[in-house]
Structures are given as C-alpha cells and as structure tokens.
Structure 1
Amino acid sequence: MRITGDGTTGGIPARSDGGPYPLHGSAAGSARRQPETTPGTAPAAPPAAEVVGYRGPTACAAAGITYRQLDYWARTGLVEPTVRPAYGSGTQRLYSFRDVVVLKIVKRFLDTGVALQNIRNAVQHLRERGFSDLERVTLMSDGASVYECTSPEQVVSLLQGGRGVFGIAVGVVWHDVEKALSQLHGERVDTGETVVGHNPADELAARRNRAG
C-alpha cells in the first residue's frame, strides 16, 4: 500500500500477487470501514476498569520524544491520546499503549525527513488497523511517500523497484515500547490508581481474545 499526502495514488499499481499496492489516506479510511474488512478493524474498547493509560511524561520516555513534541502533536491532531484527552487546565492526558507505539513511529519518520502530510496519512492509516495485524506491518519510505508492507515479498518488491530508502518494522517498535512501558508507571482509568510494572501485552491479549 502506498500512503500519499498529495491526494493521489500514483506510484505502484494495484497488484493481485501480494505485492505492495497504492493506498491514499482517505481511501484507506473508507475501505477499512466496509463490512468485508471487519477482521482488520479495531475491537471495541474494553470497559474502563480494564484500561491502563500513560501520562504525558511516561509516553515521552517510552517513545523517545520531548514533552513539547507530545503537546504539539496532540494540539495539532497528529497523535491525540485515545484514553483521555485534555479537557482543560489540570486535566492529564492519558495515552494508550497503541498511542505510544504511534508516537515512536512518528518520531522515527521525522528523524528521517519524511514529509509531515505523509506522516499524518500514515498515522491515520495505522489507527484504522486492528490489533491483530499491526505487529506484522513494515512501513517503507523513500522520503516522499510511505508504503505499507505486510510480507517480506512486498518489501523486496519495493526495493527491487528502486523505492524504499528505509523501513520501520512496526513489530520491533511495538516490542520496544512494550518493554519500556513495563518498567514505567501506568494509571487505571477507573480509579486513578498508579500501576507499576504493567505489561501492555496482557491487556492487548485480553482484547484479542474478546475480539476472537
């Protein structure tokens, strides 16, 4: 899939052999919302009692970003906290594990010079995927466009076509964030209780089981 920021698909044509194919950000949204893509949509949010969120400083530490970046991305809608947004003075944003993964991916894209609009479309696309398949995604970029690959063959296809200067294996980022957060403090949404050493994988496994 090609995730562009200029309103066009272009680039690699659609393929039936498993190769990477173009996908415009807004088109991705409509496609993912169709009934036939149910396996790829995110499961319903679990009850609040089961949700653990992470405050801004914790999210920054796990994603390797500054609080200024975190605040700017939230205010501009690039990466907003899905557990609890800021409602006013004194309200603490709470980020989900998945949010922190996206934050780290955005940081890596910015460090390699990918255009902000392409990053926005990539973030939108990632948010529309389900928990079940996000870990096997590799995001490739040539600096101008972002491509999604879900198999080694697709990565090779991009490289052979002269595209894909660098890649981000979402699964690797996923596990890096998981390890970092397991050593930091989380917060239960229902009680505000501080949770130390919470493993995000436990919560995600429970979601997958319910979705199945």
Structure 2
Amino acid sequence: MVSKGEAQRSAKSNAPAPMQEALFTQDLPEEMTDQVGYRGPAVCRAAGVTYRQLDYWARTGLLEPSVRNPTGSGHQRLYSFRDILVVKVIKRLLDTGVSLQQIRVAVTVLREHGVAELAGITLMSDGASVYECTSDDQVIDLLRGGQGVFGIALGSVWREVEGSLSEMPGERAEDETPAAHPGDELRERRVRRNAAG
C-alpha cells in the first residue's frame, strides 16, 4: 500500500476531521481494545463474511486474531475490534476486485496503526493499488491524478462494526475454558467425525 503522504508531502495537517476527533477519543471503551475479543461467528455477522473465509484468512496469515490465536482444536480464536474492522475492509476490497496481494500489503500497513488512528484513514484504490490517505487533500490529489476509483472511509466502517457488535458478547482472552463452544460448527463436525471413525 502506498502512503500518499510519503509520495507527496504537503504543508497541510494530517489530522482527522473535527467530527472524527469527537467520535474517536483516546479513551476507548474496553470492547475496542485488544483486551476483549469476539469469536468467529460474531466476527462473521459483524463483517459480513463466511466462517470458512475467516478461517482461511487466519490459517494463511492474512489476518490472524490479535486477542487469542490458539493452535489445535478445542480452543477459540478471539478477534479484537481492530481485527474486525480489518476483516470488513478485506471484504470490501475483495468485492471491488482488488488483488489478494495488494490486500495483504494493505492489511500489513493497517495493523501498524493504533485502533484510534484508523478512524482518520481513507483507503483509495484504482483497482490495482491501494493508497492510504490521512487528509482530504490527499484524497483530492489522488482523484485529480486519476488514481482513485473508489474509497473506503474507515471512520464509517468503524461505526458499522461498533453498531453490529453492540448486541454481541465479547470476552477476555483469559476466560477460555476447554469446554465445547456453541456456534463452532467446524469443531462440532470434527468431534462427530472422530467419534464415528
């Protein structure tokens, strides 16, 4: 992912818009930190992806859960609020035809930002490359240069995910017990297959 700010330094400030500053303060609720995580089915509902996609992305390293990423069966992955934002962005980029290679680069750059910083970023793409914009001037520069075909304002993605997760329970990483987890369809299938075989 190319940072437009690195390509064209301007004297303008890269601060988020005042509305974003008001919405996204430094004092994030615990649910938006890496202390609380959400299980796969909740992530799928909030981001609009299938469990199979989410599992594949975790196994291939595209997006590994940051709260808890266990190995072996019987343990649940826990995704942070930031992880879910990135999952939703991956889905949108895939839906618009951006290559998986470019998405991997974009995800790497997004993971370097703090969760509060994500609200001030707009991702722009021409279908081949993805650009990180942190100011309105950078977005306008891309559009003038004919590079921006579509954009994803992470602030609006943030609000969508926050609304989706408001009804879903989060849990802390240390709350894990080896008991069966409702909603873990793949684990239930493995248990049935191993019992029958």
Short-chain TM bin:
0.7 to 0.9
Give the one of 159, 162, 172 matched to 1:178: 162
The structure-2 alpha-carbon separation of the partners of 1:191 and 1:13, relative to structure 1 and needing over 3 Å to count, comes to closer
1:119 is aligned to 103
* Separation (CA, whole Å) in 1 of partners of 2:131 and 2:87: 18
* Pairs aligned (count): 157
Give the one of 63, 83, 89 matched to 1:105: 89
What TM-score results when the alignment is normalised by the length of structure 1? 0.69
Give the one of 15, 20, 40 matched to 2:8: 15
1:143-185 CA-partner distances (Å, limit 9, x unpaired): 1100011111111110010011100001110111011111112
C-alpha contact (below 8 Å) 2:75/2:176 kept by paired residues: no
Greater relative contact order (Cα 8 A, min sep 6): structure 1 or 2? 2
Bigger Cα Rg = 2
Secondary structure of 2:9's aligned partner = coil
- Listed as ranges, the gaps of 5+ residues in structure 1 are 4-10, 20-45, 194-212
C-alpha contact (below 8 Å) 2:123/2:131 kept by paired residues: yes
- Listed as ranges, the gaps of 5+ residues in structure 2 are 13-29, 178-197
Secondary structure of 1:65's aligned partner = coil
C-alpha contact (below 8 Å) 1:18/1:154 kept by paired residues: no
What TM-score results when the alignment is normalised by the length of structure 2? 0.74
The structure-2 alpha-carbon separation of the partners of 1:141 and 1:18, relative to structure 1 and needing over 3 Å to count, comes to farther
* Separation (CA, whole Å) in 2 of partners of 1:123 and 1:166: 17
1:76 is aligned to 60
